[in-house]
Amino acid sequence: MNLTNRMIKTKLQNFVKTKEVEYYDVGLCGNFNLANIPNIEELFQSWECFSGNDTFPVKATCDENTSCSDEYYFGKLYRGEQLKYRLSLAKHILNNLN
């Protein structure tokens, strides 16, 4: 495993343990520089809860009262159902990161 992946893995492990991130207004990619992982899209696509969108791999949990885009940009990315999905994705990446 290269140095970048080891650093990302350590940060993801900390997130899974503490459920805390540095920036609550951005997703996992922004908090953990996931774009630096080669073939990250393949990891997203192999995750059982994948949204179908590589840019926004965590599906929105919006309803008739909530705009899906508003949820991402103004929502609570690390609370409730969204936290559950992000923890699941982080664990999936950790289990499959080489």
62: number of Cβ within 10 Å: 14
Rg from Cα positions in the chain: 13
Summarize pLDDT for 55-90 with one digit per residue, the tens: 889 988 777 776 666 666 666 889 889 999 999 999
Entry pTM: 0.89
Q: Which amino acid is at 45?
A: Q
Q: Which residues contact 72 (CB under 8 A, 6 or more apart)?
A: 27, 56, 60
CA-based torsion, 68, 73, 75, 81: positive or negative: positive
Summarize pLDDT for 5-59 with one digit per residue, the tens: 899 999 999 999 999 999 998 999 999 999 999 899 999 999 999 999 998 899 8
Please give the biggest Cα pair distance in the chain. Answer: 44
